[in-house]
Amino acid sequence: MLTDAHCHPFDLVHAFPQAEQERRKLRILAAASACTQKEFLHNETLAHNAAADSVAPLLPCFGLHPQLPAVRAAEGNPFPETEINESLEFMHSLAQAGRLSAIGECGFDLYNAAFKETEAIQDRLFSAQAEISLRYDLPLVIHVRRAIHKTFNLTDLLLKCKSVIFHSWSGTFEEAQSLMRRGVNAYFSFGNVIALNHKQAMRTCTLLPIERLLTETDAPFQPHRGMDFSQWADLPLIIETAAELRCEAGNKIDAKNLEARIEKNFRTAFGL
């Protein structure tokens, strides 16, 4: 079974209205990220319908994206304290009611000056979300861009997490290895970038222990060159590319076996 460790069905349906039908047809087990109540409730309805129809499950997740404060500031509307508190309250109530498969995506994004300016709020949001993840023993899905050092500073906290899923891992293989050596139950997820000649992601995907590997689409936000959006139909190529990369490095595996191995990793990482 193909697995998508990170996607945004609420946003995808706007780019591609038939997305959910396609997910069902391709039998893709997916973890659905949401960062507002509206997005979460949309994804949760899809998840309930999938369960009622006994098709591939969709796992609802909720997290405050680290870009959110900068996006709001750019709109001339800084993230108000009341909204932060309401969102965290909502997350807390979902976790308490057993409606969440993971906390995330959350994390750190210091890609440009506008994001850097919100570093203090990002820190606060991350701590609050990590606390909920620990309290309810939920996996943590992390977005980290130009901020790997911050995850290293948080090793003590990450060590206590049930699992830590680094979506679209942008660090080096050595940084991934260092997190694992410190004992973090870390998984590293890759999407279309490995088929787009991103050397560092390709190298990490090639060298990581196979039991730490996940695949994702980040749909609709990580398109192939020339495409407007990423989608679930991208997953077969992502798996084939990952299998080819590992074969070239001498770790012989075909796409079918890699797909099965990654499904096992997905189920372990999300505690299914």
CB nearer Zn ion, residue 109 or residue 218 = 218
**CB closer to Zn ion out of 31 and 130:** 31
Token code pair at residue 30: 């997916």
Q: Least Å distance between CB 143 and Zn ion?
A: 6
Contact 248, 264 (CB under 8 A): no
Cβ closest to Zn ion, residue 31 vs residue 243 = 31
Minimum gap (Å) between residue 64 Cβ and Zn ion: 12
- The CB-based long-range contact list for 150-159 (8 Å cut-off, 24+ gap) reads 150/108, 150/110, 150/123, 151/107, 151/108, 151/179, 152/178, 152/179, 154/126, 154/130, 155/179, 155/182, 155/184, 157/130, 158/184, 158/186, 159/183, 159/184
Residues numbered 216-235 forming contacts with Zn ion, rule: CB under 5 A: 218
Residue whose CB is less far from Zn ion, 20 or 109: 109
Binding mask 97-136 for Zn ion (x = CB under 5 A): ----------------------------------------
State the minimum distance, in angstroms, from the CB of residue 8 to Zn ion.
6
Q: Are 205 and 245 in contact (CB under 8 A)?
A: yes
Site residues for Zn ion, window 200-219 (CB under 5 A)?
218
Q: In this chain, which residue has its C-beta nearest to Zn ion?
A: 218
- Widest CA span in the chain: 54
Residues at the site binding Zn ion, with contacts judged by CB under 5 A: 218
